[in-house]
Structure 1
């Protein structure tokens, strides 16, 4: 078995703000595993604030390449960086699913056919009128779940923004909010109380990532609490043990692979917590793998998978287009992202 690596850099259509500043290019490493003429493809796309730096990712993959001489398990054991492990484990899963002649989601889950998965639209920070107009455009395109970024303004202004969205999209559209850990406990309590009148389903990360007791204390009202950054900061088990979430926002790249993300989703369901799959603005290989992950868990609520538009260009044609509020699940063996390595 052989491992090959290839760096890539893709321009974003708009700069992405992360915990470490603004990013205009999505960089990463394609990982290809070959065995007896068959190949599997993975993607390791580190994201500042979520995973290891790109330099550490490359180092970890070089270590895995050496360890692969002792077999796949030894190579996985040699990788302790989440994005690097995601790339390697995905390449191995793609290889095995293709060998079995089944799409990745069926390799991960069971034999049930899944053709599409519901997705949400994400609306960024803007004044109420602009926020409402963007949400209305998404609904006109067929989306029936809208997530609104909050926390950059004061709570009262975010309440006005969400009320404007609700007025624009009507009562039948599911609303979510994402605070990215921006509030303290007092602000979070005030926000959730006010958001209840607007019919918000849940708020992602209303408190800083390490405040699990605070997240747990917010639960129990009409607006749910979702953990996102907390999963990378404290671990899935810590969040579940603390009773800190009604939903888990699962980013396979940040969790170290679709296999680990699926395990987390199953543990969440056992605990009565809803799993929601999303991406870290990945290139087509990892993004499509996240679609397969969501399909392996079907039925799922709307997931944050419609992120391909954040890239100005991609590694190959997108095999999972979004139409009428759902994303297509490729049915070819493996991931279905043919051509990504040669692009």
Structure 2
């Protein structure tokens, strides 16, 4: 390491990928058939002329977050870059506070920049990001995949998931109680009695629907109910939790203020931590640590991240001291898309994803994608 480098350049590249046609997720918030995300590249230079490059990813979809690659690029170029260029790279947390001062909300946009900053800093230190974030507490993370659709669609999705090596699943519900029960019953029949199987309503149930659905789903051995009610209805989550099935809060928890509401309502057993929702890798680890202090565990959730975002998920998962490893996480970027944006894919067999020893995120985009940065 040679001094503290300064930020010299921030560049972007747009990437659009189609989901694997047999793994497309359809839930209460619609389908996720493709991703059009923004990649970020930050170059830093030290006082002795040494340079380093870090990569980030804005993993956002307008239907879910209100952000996408176009809005992210505009805000990055006109608001964030002017505030960051020329600044010292460390501490990264100070740069995240700078972004907060000049841009309200937009956590996924700020997260894409934050990932690149952390990647730069960890590469500068010649350490894996998980180490810089305080870990690693583990070097592999169990994962699961979403199942959706009915009839032949569900069967095709399950068959494709099994070919990819997945043995743990969550079923998309929140689309009408009768259909939800039939879908979970079919998924249980396909997966067998011993497979890990949860359900994810994406806030699609009312309290009354959740109260009807959960007892009907319980005989199928569901391991958890994720986001049964609307994001702001933490009392509804608490009411579902009282039915005796573990509740995972996802859309209800973006930041510490959201987590505080969930804690006060005693509304969740587990929170789904996103690098994007939290605003960056460091903040995601802090969110999980705060949850643990109040008896709530964490898993790593997904917004359909591409390869760089999936690598950030992995490093965060390995840096979280009390990850709920009996609840598989959603680090699926190596499998969900028809192609990979990485020069070398993450080490994932569908059952779990493994951490490497390379510095930073340990990944770089393919050469053809690197050539697109401007």
Q: Normalized against structure 1, the TM-score is what?
A: 0.88
The equivalent residue for 1:11 is: 17
Shift of 1:130: 4.7
Per-residue Cα deviation, 1:268-313 (whole angstroms, up to 9, x for no partner): 1122212110221122111111111111126533101123333333
The reply on whether 1:328 has 2:328 as its aligned counterpart is no
Deviating more after overlay: 182-191 vs 236-245? 236-245
Distance 1:143 1:222, change over 3 A: farther
Shift of 1:135: 3.5
Shift of 1:6: 1.5
The equivalent residue for 1:105 is: 130
Equivalent pair of 1:278/1:303 in contact (CA under 8 Å):
yes
Shift of 1:111: 5.2
The equivalent residue for 2:290 is: 267
Q: How many corresponding residue pairs? A: 340
The reply on whether 1:30 has 2:53 as its aligned counterpart is no
The equivalent residue for 1:131 is: 154
The equivalent residue for 1:115 is: 139
Instruction: Tell me how far apart the structure 2 counterparts of residues 226 and 325 of structure 1 sit (CA, whole Å).
Output: 21
SS at match of 2:36: strand
Per-residue Cα deviation, 1:46-102 (whole angstroms, up to 9, x for no partner): 321215344442243222221223445354343442122112211121122112222
Identify the match of residue 193 of structure 2 among 171, 174, 196: 171
The reply on whether 1:44 has 2:58 as its aligned counterpart is yes
Equivalent pair of 2:12/2:73 in contact (CA under 8 Å):
no
The reply on whether 1:313 has 2:339 as its aligned counterpart is yes
The equivalent residue for 1:96 is: 121
Deviating more after overlay: 248-257 vs 174-183? 248-257
Instruction: Tell me how far apart the structure 1 counterparts of residues 33 and 283 of structure 2 sit (CA, whole Å).
Output: 27
The reply on whether 1:161 has 2:179 as its aligned counterpart is no
Deviating more after overlay: 323-332 vs 228-237? 228-237
The equivalent residue for 2:108 is: 83
Equivalent pair of 1:143/1:325 in contact (CA under 8 Å):
yes
Instruction: Tell me how far apart the structure 2 counterparts of residues 11 and 140 of structure 1 sit (CA, whole Å).
Output: 21
The reply on whether 1:342 has 2:370 as its aligned counterpart is yes
The equivalent residue for 2:4 is: none
Instruction: Tell me how far apart the structure 2 counterparts of residues 54 and 130 of structure 1 sit (CA, whole Å).
Output: 30
Equivalent pair of 1:202/1:225 in contact (CA under 8 Å):
yes
Instruction: Tell me how far apart the structure 2 counterparts of residues 2 and 235 of structure 1 sit (CA, whole Å).
Output: 35
Instruction: Tell me how far apart the structure 2 counterparts of residues 32 and 198 of structure 1 sit (CA, whole Å).
Output: 48
The equivalent residue for 1:66 is: 82
Equivalent pair of 1:40/1:91 in contact (CA under 8 Å):
yes
Shift of 1:170: 2.4
Deviating more after overlay: 228-237 vs 117-126? 228-237
Instruction: Tell me how far apart the structure 2 counterparts of residues 174 and 313 of structure 1 sit (CA, whole Å).
Output: 27
Identify the match of residue 72 of structure 2 among 44, 51, 57: 57
SS at match of 2:37: strand
Identify the match of residue 287 of structure 1 among 288, 306, 310: 310
Unaligned runs of 5+ in 1: none
Equivalent pair of 1:27/1:46 in contact (CA under 8 Å):
yes
Deviating more after overlay: 158-167 vs 265-274? 158-167
Deviating more after overlay: 204-213 vs 164-173? 164-173
Deviating more after overlay: 103-112 vs 284-293? 103-112
Shift of 1:23: 5.9
Per-residue Cα deviation, 1:87-131 (whole angstroms, up to 9, x for no partner): 22111211221122221111112355x33210002111223x653
Shift of 1:187: 0.9
Unaligned runs of 5+ in 2: 1-6
The reply on whether 1:239 has 2:252 as its aligned counterpart is no
SS at match of 2:15: strand
Equivalent pair of 2:40/2:113 in contact (CA under 8 Å):
no
The equivalent residue for 1:304 is: 330
Equivalent pair of 2:39/2:55 in contact (CA under 8 Å):
no
Shift of 1:35: 2.4
